[in-house]
Structure 1
């Protein structure tokens, strides 16, 4: 038995951070940690905090950008917590806290009006923009935080305009309701991206724990700030602008750190244009770095995906034109300067990516000065169909190698974040 002493019977590990060996010793079995027992106290403390605030299986169970995103998200949450304290103090002062002439009824009515308008704003925003929050999560995440800072700034200024106080706080309430919808929905979309082991709930729960800890730290700092800023509007505004700058900077860095491997319209456009330019496929990291994260006005022809048939063609002749040289389960057309795509019910994810690529090429082509301002309406429509026919040829020549290249580069083409509407059309014209 002495000859077998120290023989490794088995090994085990917990994630990638800790591993153990089972050794033969004195006729029995001993469990020993790799690397010895030195520093076990420090490791146990670190392990405790990891288990409390990080998802199980970290870092393998989350995306590579998780830690960087959470760092900047923590910084923005802390600065937002401090700004929120200043805004809350101003709101309470505005409704009459500390003022002997103020009535409870007047303060209650103001609060109820603010909450009521906020509820309406939440419903309207979710109705109008709910479908955009998945496909453009980064943009709306940053937009929500900018709007939150605007709302808090309005609350700080409101007490200085007593005649318009109710209007200002109600407007700020609407803004904050939009922030609640956009911020919560986009956070869920980012959690889907970060979850690599179907562990969305665990990541979301640990994110809540991190945010609670940050808010607790913000609360302690706020207790020290309140005596300093009371009845001192200059200091209040100065600190608010300082926290706001930090908040916006941290938010920008947070959304910039996210590297999503699924295509939305912006990322697909960036990768496709680079491929058509020099046949080079951008990696997810390269494309995400180029992706715009600020809401901006379109410079190219807008694209509408999954529209009704009448948005693509207005006659049987145009339907024949749209299906000419097109054996795919989608139709493309140009209506009022917009590239419209009509989708068949049998279309696959690959078909959706191809249709969007073709729409992006059409949009770029229509945005060129040479494709604008034809001499008359009939010639204009004829010119549009000529460009559509050309787009079919471009995709036939380029799409297969493009799709193969993006898969090899690490893009997920089994699902997308493309903003398709729900219209599906079966057309009767024979497709060759």
Structure 2
């Protein structure tokens, strides 16, 4: 059989999804799909779906964990939508829908009180915890979804306690407002992580489209559920617990699938401990798999970054102790059961990482039971020891984590805004 005399003039591709070539044949330029001819129609349907619900340039334009995270996020959104339907029905019943003795005014007052307390809760939570949502996005995301389930459970139970109905729905409203702040902020933090071409707006918009589609599916299923659960509290609670278990499991899998390349306190602590114990540098995937996604209380001495000078030293002698063995633009000290770090204005991102490494090491040493230490050292002796340790290991450690794929140009360490200039040690 004679070969096609066509000459390839040019090729083009649309991301990794499509590939085309331009051919010269009998003086005419012809455009053909590169690959099997039969794929064209099937791919057009898939292509439309991708263009509607996935960011432009997928999968190259997003992080590697995007698809797995979005799958579990879709599952949790669907189950949350069904749980929300049950809670909404209970709330409407509680304010008097279907009850001829209920007044519009009473129902309106209850609704306004719920919304008002929710607004106050939103402001207070953003004030107290807003600066922590970036550095611990996974924990707060999981916390928000768990709190949302608790709020919906309270709304379902509220009609059975008419004397406390307003109090219960107002408390649930506060919880939901906290969920709104924590969930929205952590979603934004995850979007920044997923964006690989400064396409945060596109990813956020497509995430909204996915959520809308899921809510539409949940609405259709809810139309079937509502007649079944009306005036049937046993079935209502049974379905709610089923959807809640699915919701929490899907959320856990979603946050576990996220692989962040930026360092926060938990990931840096895991990396440093592994390096000190065996000179091993963990990849972002390995460290993220070990990162805790639940809040832990009282296990280690807390670390406070970017504090005022008086939280580290309170006398000229203590300042001299903080400067001993220290030629870095930060000061470390132990005060009131916390490891405190005071940062100078000229400190770089690498200095911040080193300061955090020292603080994490100090926290680990101070958290050890006293019985395991052959000789109890003073806090300042341990601070001086940490400086010597970092002088020996930090540069190879930093080069190793950078080579392993970690982003060391920025961090998610929770630094406060205090910056201090101090005079050198007096002689």
Q: Note the C-alpha offset of 1:295.
A: 1.2
Q: In structure 1, how many angstroms separate the alpha carbons of the residues matched to 2:328 and 2:206? A: 45
- The answer for the alignment partner of 1:421 in structure 2 is 416
Structure 2 counterparts to residues 144-155 of structure 1, below 5 A: 144-155=144-155
Q: In structure 1, how many angstroms separate the alpha carbons of the residues matched to 2:47 and 2:159? A: 48
User: Do 2:320 and 2:426's aligned partners in 1 also have CA atoms closer than 8 Å?
Assistant: no
Q: In structure 2, how many angstroms separate the alpha carbons of the residues matched to 1:63 and 1:212? A: 22
Is 1:53 the counterpart of 2:53? The answer is yes
Is 1:212 the counterpart of 2:212? The answer is yes
Is 1:310 the counterpart of 2:305? The answer is no
Q: Secondary structure at the match of 1:424?
A: coil
Q: In structure 2, how many angstroms separate the alpha carbons of the residues matched to 1:259 and 1:397? A: 29
- The answer for the alignment partner of 2:407 in structure 1 is 412
Q: In the TM superposition, what whole-angstrom CA distance separates every residue of 1:349-407 from its partner, at most 9, and x where no partner exists? A: 000000000000101111122389999xxxx9x81111110000100111011001001
RMSD: 1.8
User: Do 2:23 and 2:30's aligned partners in 1 also have CA atoms closer than 8 Å?
Assistant: yes
Q: Secondary structure at the match of 1:341?
A: strand
Q: Note the C-alpha offset of 1:5.
A: 3.0
Q: Secondary structure at the match of 1:134?
A: coil
Q: TM-score, length-normalised on structure 1? A: 0.96
Paired residues, what number? 426
- The answer for the alignment partner of 2:391 in structure 1 is 396
Q: TM-score, length-normalised on structure 2? A: 0.97
Q: Secondary structure at the match of 1:131?
A: helix
- The answer for the alignment partner of 1:346 in structure 2 is 346
Structure 2 counterparts to residues 153-192 of structure 1, below 5 A: 153-192=153-192
Unaligned runs of 5+ in 2: none
Is 1:365 the counterpart of 2:365? The answer is yes
Q: In structure 2, how many angstroms separate the alpha carbons of the residues matched to 1:373 and 1:398? A: 23
Q: In structure 1, how many angstroms separate the alpha carbons of the residues matched to 2:79 and 2:299? A: 35
Q: In the TM superposition, what whole-angstrom CA distance separates every residue of 1:179-206 from its partner, at most 9, and x where no partner exists? A: 0000000000000000000000000000
Q: Note the C-alpha offset of 1:118.
A: 0.1
Q: Secondary structure at the match of 2:214?
A: helix
- The answer for the alignment partner of 1:387 in structure 2 is 382
Q: In structure 2, how many angstroms separate the alpha carbons of the residues matched to 1:87 and 1:183? A: 19
- The answer for the alignment partner of 2:64 in structure 1 is 64
- The answer for the alignment partner of 1:254 in structure 2 is 254
The 1:195/1:370 distance shift into structure 2, 3 A limit, reads: same
Q: In structure 2, how many angstroms separate the alpha carbons of the residues matched to 1:145 and 1:281? A: 33
Q: Note the C-alpha offset of 1:324.
A: 1.2
Q: Secondary structure at the match of 1:130?
A: helix
Q: In structure 2, how many angstroms separate the alpha carbons of the residues matched to 1:307 and 1:399? A: 23
- The answer for the alignment partner of 1:37 in structure 2 is 37
Q: Note the C-alpha offset of 1:264.
A: 0.2
Q: Note the C-alpha offset of 1:3.
A: 10
Q: In structure 1, how many angstroms separate the alpha carbons of the residues matched to 2:21 and 2:192? A: 36
Q: In structure 2, how many angstroms separate the alpha carbons of the residues matched to 1:386 and 1:414? A: 31
Q: Note the C-alpha offset of 1:429.
A: 2.1
Is 1:195 the counterpart of 2:190? The answer is no
Q: In structure 1, how many angstroms separate the alpha carbons of the residues matched to 2:374 and 2:185? A: 44
Structure 2 counterparts to residues 8-157 of structure 1, below 5 A: 8-157=8-157
Q: In structure 1, how many angstroms separate the alpha carbons of the residues matched to 2:148 and 2:248? A: 10
User: Do 1:324 and 1:431's aligned partners in 2 also have CA atoms closer than 8 Å?
Assistant: no
User: Do 1:323 and 1:431's aligned partners in 2 also have CA atoms closer than 8 Å?
Assistant: no
Q: Secondary structure at the match of 2:134?
A: helix
Q: Secondary structure at the match of 1:340?
A: strand
Q: In structure 1, how many angstroms separate the alpha carbons of the residues matched to 2:423 and 2:293? A: 42
User: Do 2:88 and 2:155's aligned partners in 1 also have CA atoms closer than 8 Å?
Assistant: yes
The 1:272/1:67 distance shift into structure 2, 3 A limit, reads: same
